[in-house]
Structure 1
Amino acid sequence: MTNPYVFPDVKARASAEEWRQRVDLAACYRLMAHFRWTDLIHTHVSAKVPGRDDEFFINPYGLMFDEITASSLVRIDGDGRVLEDPTGIGVNPAGFVIHSCIHRANHALACVMHTHTAAGIGVSAQKRGLLKLSQHSMRFFGALAYHDYEGVALELDEQPRLVRDLGPHRAMILRNHGLLTAGETVREAFDLMHYLERACQAQVAAQAGGAELIECDDSLAAKVAEQFRGPDPGAEHDWPALLRMLDRIDPSFRH
């Protein structure tokens, strides 16, 4: 079936670098749908427009994530003004509040992801946050931030606290809310979210079993985190493999 949210004129105007960014971001949305990380049309991923520190792409606020294409993405500036929106749908105001301040504070962070998964929300509601129960969780030891809940993220005065709480990290638990990751590429932000989500799933599953838990000590967690900071032999292969999977499912994300 033809995807109605393909706009060929957008690709005709885009540079090769911009189009690659659009395709990667559309792929990220499709992967969120595939892995069941969506919250209907809510939550969001943003990616910086290449060469423009004050502009980024985000989803039209009305498409399911498995409908999003590279050409349907909305181009928005750091002040929330819509610069290009081929669907005419507009954007989620909370997406602007959360994402724009992180992009503005650190121009190296080209992609920001935010989710409301059951496991992510479950761990975000626990006083101790992410526990040292799994290899996935220990990957984030010493590199995970927390931000207290302030209500639906619609107020601009929350932005300085979001930036402050994230600090130098690239992963954050939004208490009573969900998860957030950021990366220099779409692939990096997705990779961090995948493993943070898996860590939360493992924690909730272990707690649900009712048996006494084995929590690793800080020294072992620090060792594991340091191991993950080393070279990643899969880093150049996992994203192409994920794109091939999406191509088998529905290649319209590329258009």
Structure 2
Amino acid sequence: SIAAGSHGGVAVDAIPKFESYATQRQWTLEHLAGACRVFGREGYAKGIAGHISVRDPEFHDRFWINPLAVHFSMMTISDLICLDMQGNVVGGNRVSTANAAGVAIHTACHLARSDAHAVCHAHSLYGKAWAAFGRNLDMISQDVCYFYKAHSVYDNNGGIAFAADEGSNIAQALGKNKAAILVNHGLITVGQTVDEAAYLYTLLEKSCRIQLMVEATGLPKSIAGRRGGEYISHGG
């Protein structure tokens, strides 16, 4: 936690306390739109691919997601769409449409993981490159140790996830992990907040880049031990 990692008498606030669902929803959507813009800044947008969702704080059988054909870097709260678990639009932007593959993937993940309030998926460059190997990342830095025994590989890619069963397959491969590497596809991360899920995505993408750089040298790698991996993965 932030408090556990702090030194001194000044407390660092984490998630604020909200007076109403309305204020919590506003805060959540601001962070969702902000996460989209971060993804845009980082270059994770590839055409119309890529989506971030977060469960509604009041109605847990609904989630908010970015629409199709609005670039990550241009996202605002008014662009966001609220869907139920059947894919019906129940709030927010009723003019734009949601990404069909995004609906399939995010619905399945939210249904499978009540603890995962936010889901991030994109086809970022280094994630796609590392995904071609169909391998888990090695624990070669402190950063990647956040995924120590907490990321999986989905190697049964059935193409674009328009079908509900492909979304379910991805959710099943994710399991209880923080992240999954989708072979020939991209990356997916989950978190209790959209901030956590988005941060983990950027960390996973950078870890894929580091792994590719290390592999390219052809030299032996030093792998973090179990104790170090467990300490970092639990927020040490």
TM-score, structure 1 length as denominator?
0.78
- The answer for the alignment partner of 1:6 in structure 2 is none
| Conserved? CA contact 1:54–1:78, under 8 Å | yes
- For the residue of structure 1 that corresponds to 2:181, the secondary structure is strand
Partner residue of 1:185? 193
State the 1:183 CA deviation: 0.4
SS in 2 for 1:61: coil
Residue range with higher mean Cα deviation, 150-159 or 170-179: 150-159
Instruction: Identify which range, 152-161 or 132-141, moves more after superposition.
Output: 132-141
Tell me the matched-pair count.
215
Correspondence list, 1:80-229, <5 A: 80-86=87-93, 88-148=95-155, 149-208=157-216, 211-217=217-223, 220-229=224-233
The answer for the alignment partner of 1:5 in structure 2 is: none
Mark the CA change 1:133 to 1:205 in structure 2 (over 3 Å): closer, same or farther. Answer: same
Q: Distance in 2 between matches of 1:181 and 1:140?
A: 10
Q: Secondary structure at the match of 2:143?
A: helix
Residues 82 and 93 in structure 2, CA contact (< 8 A), matched pair in contact too:
no
Partner-residue secondary structure (3-state), 2:147: coil
State the superposition RMSD in angstroms: 1.8
Q: Give, in angstroms, the shift of residue 85 of structure 1.
A: 4.6
- Shift in alpha-carbon separation, 1:163–1:60, aligned structure 2, 3 A: closer
What is the alpha-carbon distance in structure 1 between the residues aligned to residue 225 and residue 56 of structure 2?
36
Change (3 A) 1:91 1:123: same
Determine whether 1:36 maps to 2:40: no
Q: Contact (CA 8 Å) 2:120, 2:198: kept in 1 or not?
A: yes
SS in 1 for 2:205: helix
Q: Is the CA contact 1:116–1:177 (under 8 Å) kept in the aligned structure 2?
A: yes
**Does 1 or 2 have the higher relative contact order (CA < 8 Å, sep 6+)?**
1
**Distance (Å, rounded) in 2 between the aligned partners of 1:170 and 1:108:** 11
| CA distance in structure 2 between the aligned counterparts of 1:164 and 1:86, rounded to whole angstroms | 30
SS state at 1:76 partner = strand
C-alpha contact (below 8 Å) 1:60/1:73 kept by paired residues = yes
Q: 2:27 aligns with which of 20, 28, 36?
A: 20
TM-score (structure 2 length as normaliser): 0.84
CA shift, 1:231, in A, is 4.4
Give, as a single letter, the amino acid of the residue that structure 2 aligns with 1:66: S
Distance 1:110-1:205 versus aligned 2 partners, 3 A rule: same
Higher helix share: 1
Equivalent residue, structure 1, for 2:9: none
1:107 is paired with a residue whose SS is coil
Deviation at 1:229, TM superposition (A): 3.4
Task: Give the direction of change, closer, same or farther, for the CA distance of 1:87–1:80 in structure 2 (3 Å limit).
Answer: closer
Provide the rounded CA distance (Å) in 1 between the counterparts of 2:52 and 2:163: 19
Q: Tell me if structure 2 keeps the 8 A contact 1:172–1:181.
A: yes
